[in-house]
Amino acid sequence: MIGGGGKTSLMYYLVTILKDQGYAAIGTSTTKLSSHHSSNNSFIRVQNVATGYQAVKQAREIERTVILVSGEDDTDPKKMVGISGEWIDRLAITHKDVVFVVEGDGAAGKPLKGHLAHDPVIPSLSSMVVVVIGIDSVGLRLTSQNVHRPERICQLTKVSPDAVVTTELITQLLFHPQGYLHNCPSHSLIVPFINKVESVPQGKLAERLANQILANQHPQIGGVVIGSLLTGEGLWLQA
């Protein structure tokens, strides 16, 4: 999962659903992630690939959702530090029956972000990249209170610092050569997920954004999901 507007919640949700359906599924992150779900989950610390192999074996024996991390964040007690994308690739090669659900991006809790060259951090073997976009970003001004790195968004989209987020701006940011998709592996299926759609007006905005995304006919995007993790409702729009 990359982007902003519900990545961590989606990661926990997917791992739980996959385990409930009988899959071997493990969550992790290549950046930092919130530990606020920790009461219902088990964090297993991984210091290197060797301990990672043991952690995956241990995770199979735990009924609760398992998240692989390297430890606590020294600067923020509410955060855990993930593991490297290279380690995840090596673990995935060895454990081919395990689904690794990875949060590969940080957005400071904001529904939209401007990416720098080093992020998102996506494991090279990722078969699917879910791009999370919070529809509640539409109509907000480009300030640090509303979006992550507003100055970067302005730089990429050429809008003024006092601009308002629109579906057109989000689409431009998504497909910019240095935007959301610039670190996606060329073989990955890309699934945009427009989250926080919890009212009729938001539904109309989400459908408009989805149609704009699909109109670009990106070869790796086969459709768009619009819905809400809060309500558990969703809709798949085919390309």
Lowest mean pLDDT across 77-91, 132-146, 163-177, 203-217: 77-91
For residue 220, what are its two tokens?
Answer: 């790796």
| Chain segment 106-121, per-residue pLDDT in tens | 999 999 999 999 999 9
- 173 vs 34, more confident: 173
User: Which among 176, 141, 144 has a CA at the least distance from the CA of 157?
Assistant: 176
What is residue 112's predicted lDDT score, i.e. its pLDDT? 97
CATH tag, 2-238 = 3.40.50
Q: Does residue 39 carry a pLDDT above 70?
A: no
What is residue 194's predicted lDDT score, i.e. its pLDDT? 98
Band of residue 236 on the pLDDT scale cut at 50, 70, 90: very high
Q: Does residue 96 carry a pLDDT above 60?
A: yes
Query: Sign of the C-alpha dihedral, residues 106, 107, 108, 113?
Result: positive
Over range 12-16, report the average pLDDT: 91
